[in-house]
């Protein structure tokens, strides 16, 4: 995460606009596809060939760009949905925004504190009880233990995982981890929240409760960036949508416009 100090607007028109809190400029993310040894026998055979001087170096694999030359900004209070087919680069883009991975080229700036729900295991120490993980996660936001104690029970009640709150996270189901992770994130009230459909592992009742809470965050003018395969969710929640396709940003606009274009592609 890069925290950028606020600067004075260049003119009156800019002053009337909400502050930019996410800036993505000509971002590329490159991965290289490596061939892996499939078995101990294969690996032993390769070692023997090297010893006999027969080892032939494999050709370098062609690079794969999960994200290619993507640029956009997000203003404070916007709710932005990212749509696209599987493998389009949506989750990679969210990982870049949250600092989980760094761009190969280009720059990503996020202004303010944020929470990321990009995987059900993110941010947890699996050997520690759920209750202690609340304090661990809160510490990342700069909350001290006294502050956390004031909202601890609210987090526990919302997660609704019963006595498991005092059990090691490693015994949790994926749905229980998602419940606790979401509850922690929304109660710490970050300026920005990044979501990657991690709530799909929960039951319908909990998903509805989470959706209601996300609407509340939107109404509080907190910034939301959401990866979703649900056109209905994007239309209802988001004020703007981005269509990713093969690592590139094809369209940035009103949700209905973007979703119609994506559906007809």
Distance CA 87, CA 98 (A): 19
CATH class of the domain at 12-31+64-263: alpha beta
User: Domain spans of the chain?
Assistant: 12-31+64-263
Dig out the tokens for 51 from the structure. 């010893």
Task: Give CA separation, 56 vs 41, 45, 47, 49, 159, in Å.
Answer: 17, 12, 11, 8, 55
Q: Over its length of 265 residues, how does the chain's per-residue pLDDT go in tens digits?
A: 333 333 444 454 555 678 999 999 999 999 976 544 444 455 445 555 655 665 555 555 678 899 999 999 999 999 999 999 999 999 999 999 988 899 999 999 999 988 887 765 667 899 999 999 999 989 887 899 999 999 999 999 999 999 999 999 999 998 898 889 889 988 988 899 998 875 565 677 888 888 888 889 899 999 999 998 889 889 999 999 999 999 999 999 999 999 999 999 8
Nearest residue to 108 (alpha-carbon basis) of 46, 180, 22: 22
Write down the pLDDT at residue 59: 54
Strands 20-32 and 63-75: antiparallel
Task: Give CA separation, 99 vs 1, 2, 96, 161, 264, in Å.
Answer: 5, 8, 5, 29, 33
Sign of the torsion angle spanned by Cα atoms 35, 36, 38, 40: positive
Distance CA 14, CA 175 (A): 43
Q: Cβ(239)–Cβ(79) under 8 Å?
A: yes
């Amino acid at each position: 995460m890069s925290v950028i100090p606020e600067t004075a607007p260049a003119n009156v028109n800019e002053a009337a606009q909400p502050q930019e809190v996410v800036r993505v400029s000509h971002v590329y993310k490159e991965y290289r596809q490596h061939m892996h040894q499939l078995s101990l026998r294969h690996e032993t055979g390769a070692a023997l060939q090297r010893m006999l001087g027969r080892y032939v170096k494999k050709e370098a694999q062609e690079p794969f760009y999960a994200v290619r030359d993507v640029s956009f900004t997000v203003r404070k209070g916007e709710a932005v949905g990212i749509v696209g087919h599987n493998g389009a680069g949506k989750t990679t883009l969210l990982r870049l925004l949250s600092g989980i991975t760094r761009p190969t080229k280009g720059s990503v700036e996020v202004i303010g504190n944020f929470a990321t729900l990009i995987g059900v295991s993110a941010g947890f120490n699996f050997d520690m009880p759920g209750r202690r993980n609340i304090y661990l996660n809160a510490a990342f936001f700069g909350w001290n233990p006294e502050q956390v104690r004031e909202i601890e029970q609210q987090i526990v009640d919302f997660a609704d995982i019963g006595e498991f709150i005092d059990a090691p996270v490693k015994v949790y189901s994926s749905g229980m981890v998602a419940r606790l992770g979401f509850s922690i994130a929304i109660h710490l009230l970050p300026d920005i929240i990044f979501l990657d459909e991690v709530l799909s592992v929960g039951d319908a009742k909990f998903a509805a409760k989470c959706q209601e809470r996300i609407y509340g965050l939107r109404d509080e003018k907190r910034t939301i960036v959401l990866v979703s395969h649900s056109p209905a969710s994007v239309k209802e929640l988001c004020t703007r949508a981005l269509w990713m396709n093969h690592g590139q940003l094809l369209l940035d606009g009103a949700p209905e416009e973007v979703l119609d274009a994506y559906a007809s592609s």
